[in-house]
Structure 1
């Protein structure tokens, strides 16, 4: 009797677990790193779509474990550099990402420190690296 019950329950339990894993979708974007310092000294946004460009990210110690071989074929990446800033408190990141039939629209958010806040007086270079889980054309706003 117990064996018959197990034979009936096991396929049911296994099929329920497998279907929930298959239905899990990746988010449209993932922020891989967002740093207050360490970026370039000039302001620029770069979209990486080609495998050789994306491979360069794997040379970075903090990013190489966040990128897998499937990402190179199925995702695009964006590097956002705010440029050199005169103090701490600046930040660059993503405000929103929207997918249309033709492209992915990425809206950038730049944060500047309030004048009444005490921030570090050293120069900083804020940057952000974002993975877009799509190979559609990217439009940055």
Structure 2
């Protein structure tokens, strides 16, 4: 009689599978920012001001923020022509900076949309654009536009 080797192999495969499932059960969850969308009001001096919507995403320590503002562009701006730096105050002190040169083509008179702007975050970072200083700096055709946040983000800061 021939001894079957399939049973020990099957048992080993089941044991490996069980260990893998157990490992997944205890694996850390994917990082997620909350809230994913916030609003704030910005004052950009002679360029205007008003409400803006900020949308955040996170993948590990990498994060992005896209900003759509009430500030309008007086002239058409081609895609990826706005260099932007968004500085967010970190709860407990310090700042995190998000930057990039990413915007869709903007017809004259349209709301400025910037992003995604890239930055690095740490677990537990609580970030808000409302602080003493320039929160948003845009350079368009060599002209610098500085915007100060005049309200705190609503419904609250981004927590990574």
User: TM-score scaled by structure 2?
Assistant: 0.34
Q: Report the structure, 1 or 2, having the larger strand content.
A: 2
Q: For the pair shown, which has the larger CA radius of gyration, 1 or 2?
A: 2
User: TM-score scaled by structure 1?
Assistant: 0.37
Query: Which structure's relative contact order is higher, taking Cα pairs within 8 Å and 6+ residues apart?
Result: 1
Q: Report the structure, 1 or 2, having the larger helix content.
A: 1
